[in-house]
């Protein structure tokens, strides 16, 4: 998002808030940042916002645009701002200002801090648009007429400052683009995305479910969904094994001490599920695997001849996410990571990172994703969020930057997007309808080896500090599957589909022969299913089509004689093949991941 577009979208958020203020004079306001597609604003009008309210807000926004109101800026001290927003009964703004006064800007969230200039926190700027007055760093467009093509989109509940127990506000989302054509194109994409919603398709295709008894954000995987997870994980493991990785396994809990030493307890403790045993010891469910893997490396002395050590593990981790932020498979509390960590010497960093990059290229090209690269660096204004020193971070970031440039790809920089222990190369993939997702990642970590004093013995017999490379290909299998389900609209390619062949007997007398064919295919590790329901062939075909089966065989007298009529999904013409020719073609297609 360019600076000009961000300014336009943030200004549009103010116009929407001004519309809310005109309609609901007693409304209270939280924060309203710009987003990649528009903006949102958290508001409190004393009740839930209705569709009729949204329609009125849209109409009032349109009127404010026509009025060409200016964005009037003024500057004042913190005390003056507190007095102003108290007089306006804007309790949420007063709370933010008081936090700035007592704790500084570092205690604010990214969205909250966006309204404050960190270089001059003793003074704040205020913008007035019509009757709406807001605490805002700016800048803004000249007038309400300059906010582009805007449309109210949807609402959601949002706890104030993202904390359960705080008041729940109404988050109103708006779309904002430079032109009406861009807005219309995005709306068409949203309509297509709704059809592809993984939550809806997951239920219709019988892939996963959620249970109130189990808890929010804890998906339950059916046999079909588990096939998807397993096939994808096996693919990643095949690629990793070719690069010399070895599998390891660790427990799902740990003593608090491990995360205190790694630095996660200080930086990450609010997102941990904590356990206190009957003896009074404090444990935690692991939110990540890297500290455990350091202990495998550190379990024996390593020579330079043993380097690098490459560990891979697919395992669940657990994070205490806010319930309001959970969303299908996209945001869950138990996350299955296809995780790997390389312990290497500094001289080996490039070859190990490039080997991971090769895996990522092969994996994502299989699904037709166009990848772009982001170098995710630390935020220099919030260095307290990170482990280590600025010198170490500068070295790590410089090394990743040089590798990207050596690879010869264009990249963007994402300041503040680094992990707490090191910078990373993030791979961004475009799905079938043009949405960008952060997918794989390669992270360079000089800090955790320092915390755990991880070394190898070099050629001179001296201890040498090692480096960690964190690498995830899918990252979270849950999140990746949410992307993949929507990318394919549930119509998975043959090699990946939970059921690859649907065999549809015409009558009961064909059941035994249909089962024999299924057994023959199963012996070749081909996933097939015989529809034995007492229904018409037409109904069975429609059911198979609804389940988006890649291939179906209507099994009648001719098929019982060994000649198969094969229907491939998306193809109007049918194939007539012998059983042997059909199985040979299937095996070839599956092996080549068509």
Residue 264 is among the residues annotated as catalytic for this protein = no
Distance CA 65, CA 146 (A): 8
Per the residue annotation, which of 151, 319, 374, 548 is the catalytic one? 319
Task: Identify whether the C-beta of residue 489 lies closer than 8 Å to the C-beta of residue 195.
Answer: yes
Per the residue annotation, which of 309, 337, 500, 547 is the catalytic one? 337
Strand partners, 374: 412, 426
Residue 252 is among the residues annotated as catalytic for this protein = no
Q: How many CA atoms lie within 13 A of 265 on its CB side?
A: 14
Q: Going by DSSP bridges, is the β-strand pair 455-457/424-430 parallel, antiparallel, or unpaired?
A: unpaired
Distance CA 375, CA 358 (A): 17
Contacts 24+ apart (CB under 8 A), 507-510: 507/556, 508/534, 510/555, 510/556, 510/557, 510/559, 510/560
Residue 292 is among the residues annotated as catalytic for this protein = no
- Read off the tokens for 541: 């075909």
Q: Which of 557, 513, 548, 560 is nearest to 532 (CA)?
A: 513
DSSP 474-517: EEEHHHHHHHHHHHHTT---TTT-SS-EEEEESSGGGHHHHHHH
Residue 333 is among the residues annotated as catalytic for this protein = no
Sheet arrangement for strand 38-44? 28-29, 38-44, 168-177, 149-159
Containing 242, the helix (H) or strand (E) segment is none
Task: Identify whether the C-beta of residue 42 lies closer than 8 Å to the C-beta of residue 32.
Answer: yes
Three-class SS of residue 189?
Answer: helix
Per the residue annotation, which of 470, 510, 540, 567 is the catalytic one? 470
Residue 281 is among the residues annotated as catalytic for this protein = no
Residue 337 is among the residues annotated as catalytic for this protein = yes
Residue 140 is among the residues annotated as catalytic for this protein = no
Per the residue annotation, which of 424, 437, 479, 540 is the catalytic one? 424
Per the residue annotation, which of 42, 339, 445, 531 is the catalytic one? 339
Per the residue annotation, which of 21, 341, 435, 487 is the catalytic one? 341
- Read off the tokens for 257: 């001490």
The catalytic residue positions are 290, 319, 337, 339, 341, 424, 470
């Amino acid at each position: 998002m360019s600076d000009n577009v961000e300014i336009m979208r943030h200004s549009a958020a103010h116009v929407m808030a001004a519309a809310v203020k005109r309609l609901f004079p007693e409304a209270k306001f939280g924060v309203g940042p710009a987003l990649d597609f528009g903006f949102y604003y958290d508001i409190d009008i004393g009740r839930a916002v209705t569709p009729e309210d949204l329609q009125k807000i849209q109409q009032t926004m349109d009127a404010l645009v026509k009025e060409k109101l200016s964005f009037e800026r003024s500057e004042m001290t913190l005390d003056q701002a507190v007095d102003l927003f108290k007089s306006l009964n804007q309790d949420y703004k007063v709370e933010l200002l008081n936090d700035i006064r007592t704790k500084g800007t570092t205690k604010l969230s990214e969205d909250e801090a966006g309204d404050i200039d960190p270089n001059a926190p003793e003074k704040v700027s205020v913008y007035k648009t019509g009757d709406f007055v807001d605490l805002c760093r700016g800048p803004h467009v000249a007038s309400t007429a300059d906010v582009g093509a805007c449309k109210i989109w949807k609402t959601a509940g949002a706890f104030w400052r993202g904390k359960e127990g705080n008041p729940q506000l109404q988050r109103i989302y708006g779309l904002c683009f430079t032109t009406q054509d861009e807005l219309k194109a995005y709306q068409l994409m949203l309509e297509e995305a709704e059809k592809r919603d993984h939550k809806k398709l997951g239920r219709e295709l019988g892939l996963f479910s959620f249970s109130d008894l189990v808890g929010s954000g804890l998906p339950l995987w059916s046999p079909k969904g588990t096939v998807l997870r397993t096939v994808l994980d096996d693919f990643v493991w095949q690629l990793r094994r070719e690069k010399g990785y070895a599998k390891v396994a660790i427990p799902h809990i740990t003593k608090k001490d491990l995360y205190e030493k790694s630095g996660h307890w200080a930086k990450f403790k609010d997102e941990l599920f904590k356990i206190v045993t009957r003896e009074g010891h404090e444990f935690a469910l692991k939110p990540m695997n890297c500290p455990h893997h350091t202990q495998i490396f550190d379990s024996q002395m390593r020579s330079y001849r043993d380097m690098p050590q490459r560990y891979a593990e697919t395992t669940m981790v657990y994070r205490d996410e806010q319930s309001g932020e959970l969303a299908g498979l996209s945001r869950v509390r138990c996350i299955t990571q296809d995780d790997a960590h390389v312990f290497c010497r500094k001289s080996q960093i490039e070859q190990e990172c490039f080997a991971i990059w090769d895996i990522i290229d092969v994996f994502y090209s299989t699904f037709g994703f166009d990848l772009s690269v982001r170098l995710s660096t630390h935020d220099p204004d919030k260095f307290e969020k990170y482990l280590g020193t600025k010198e170490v971070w500068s070295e790590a970031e410089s090394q990743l930057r040089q590798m990207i440039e050596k690879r010869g790809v264009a990249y963007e920089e994402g300041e503040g997007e680094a992990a707490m222990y090191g910078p990373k190369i993030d791979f961004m993939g475009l799905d079938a309808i043009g949405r960008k997702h952060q997918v794989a990642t390669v992270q360079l970590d000089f800090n955790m080896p320092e915390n755990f004093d991880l070394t190898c013995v070099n050629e001179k017999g001296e201890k040498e500090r090692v480096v960690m490379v964190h690498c995830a290909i899918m990252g979270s299998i849950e999140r990746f599957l949410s992307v993949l389900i929507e990318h394919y609209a549930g119509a998975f390619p043959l090699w990946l589909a939970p059921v690859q062949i649907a065999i549809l007997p015409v009558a009961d007398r064909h059941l035994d022969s249909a089962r024999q064919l299924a057994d023959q295919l199963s012996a070749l590790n081909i996933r097939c299913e015989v529809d034995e329901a007492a229904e018409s062939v037409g109904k069975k075909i429609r059911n198979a089509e609804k389940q988006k089966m890649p291939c179906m065989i209507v099994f009648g007298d001719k098929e019982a004689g060994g000649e198969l009529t094969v229907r491939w999904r998306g193809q109007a013409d049918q194939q007539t093949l012998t059983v042997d020719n059909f199985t040979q073609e299937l095996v070839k297609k599956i092996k080549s991941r068509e």
